[in-house]
Amino acid sequence: MSQTTTTVDVPEAPRTVTLMNGHTFSFKSNISTTLEKIPIIDAARIWSESLDDRTAVAEEIREASRNIGFFYLVNHGVDGSYAAATFEQAKRFFALPEEKKMEVFTGLVPNEYVGFHPMECYNRNGWKHQDLSEAFNWSYDPKEDPSAVEGAAPAVSLWPSDLPGFRDALYAYHGQLLRVARRLTQIFALALHLPENAFDEYVQHPEAGMRILHYPEQKHSVDDQNGIGAHTDVECFTIVTQDSSGGLEVLGKNGNWIKAEPIEGSFVVNIADCFMRQTNDFFVSTVHRVINKSGKERYSAPFFFGFDRRKLLEPVGTCVSEENPMKYPVMTGGEYYAWRTNRQKRTYSSKVGE
């Protein structure tokens, strides 16, 4: 008598991760998909003189910010030569000898995230292998901001020596993104059904850091290593410039990873934790990660934009009520930034420079 063997597919057990903001989340699988899509928003209307145009795009951003917390911006008005120059400078910097890069090691600056973060120095999710990426961060500098107000604190950045043109090129792009971010702040105010200028005083001296990142191709399984592990960003929102390699992935509400595939000339914008806190979870600070299985080096340049560190992260009036009270304690942006920065830095475990 013959026997028939039946094979039953057992669903993969969900994986659970605790983030740097203290939140815990689970996802179903490490396999990512392109079946779900991230919204694409035409940014040309943010510059329109018509309030109706600006309000219309704000409503699109409102829906994207509350449903997934990510969206693409196209037609944003920033010339692509700035991004190209920034990526060229990134390649120059990361090609330097390790000892040269360590001259601007982030560990030299307490309470700040600026400077060089060596390859495989973090393991955000506790996987078998360290996150396979390296980065260089720099901060807002009022001397580079035509709209800077008096009394702004000086920049805290570290800059490598003997790398002519590096700082100038990075701040040239930073300045372009600063202009876009300030306008987006007004659009976000409309998206929250507030007056367009509701946040203007908060971004005169903004939290506006930026970083360049380098990701070698990952040889290890996605189950054992990420380029950058799953995380959320700290500030109000992030404007990401990515190259053509792909690798950015966003965690959907259903627990699946969604590929944020590169769209030439676009920005990827995502909500970060400070905006989530201020909007009482109306805006979603979505978990994301990078997996570089492209077969080539990957470079990206995220710009992190938030409110003046001295300002209280007070709840947005349209997002709280007696039925929906504020979920988070009120603190300044600086207090939250310092808490998150130091918590992240304490996970540094590379032996480089020891």
Per-residue pLDDT reduced to its tens digit, 160-212: 999 999 999 999 999 999 999 999 999 999 999 999 999 999 999 999 999 99
- Residue range of the domain that includes 47: 29-345
pLDDT at 236: 95
Alpha carbon distance 310, 332 (integer Å): 6
Domain assignment of residue 188, yes or no: yes
Domain assignment of residue 20, yes or no: no
Domain assignment of residue 13, yes or no: no
Domain assignment of residue 272, yes or no: yes
Domain count, the chain: 1
Q: With 0-12 CB in 10 A as exposed, 13-18 as middle and 19+ as buried, what is 5?
A: exposed
pLDDT at 205: 92
- Amino acid, res. 5: T
Domain assignment of residue 9, yes or no: no
Domain assignment of residue 3, yes or no: no
Answer with the residue of higher pLDDT: 282 or 150. 282
Q: Tell which residue, 237, 245, 321, has the closest CA to residue 286.
A: 237
The tokens for 224 are 């054992």
The rounded percent of the chain whose pLDDT value lies above 90 is 73
Domain assignment of residue 4, yes or no: no
Domain assignment of residue 88, yes or no: yes
Contact of 184 with 269, CB cutoff 8 Å: yes
- Strands 257-259, 32-33: pairing is parallel
- Which CATH number goes with the domain that contains 77? 2.60.120.330
pLDDT at 25: 65
pLDDT at 350: 57
> Where in 122-163 does DSSP place strands (E)?
134-138
pTM reported for the whole predicted model: 0.91
Q: What is the mean pLDDT of residues 24-51?
A: 87
pLDDT at 36: 81
Q: Tell which residue, 337, 260, 342, has the closest CA to residue 300.
A: 260
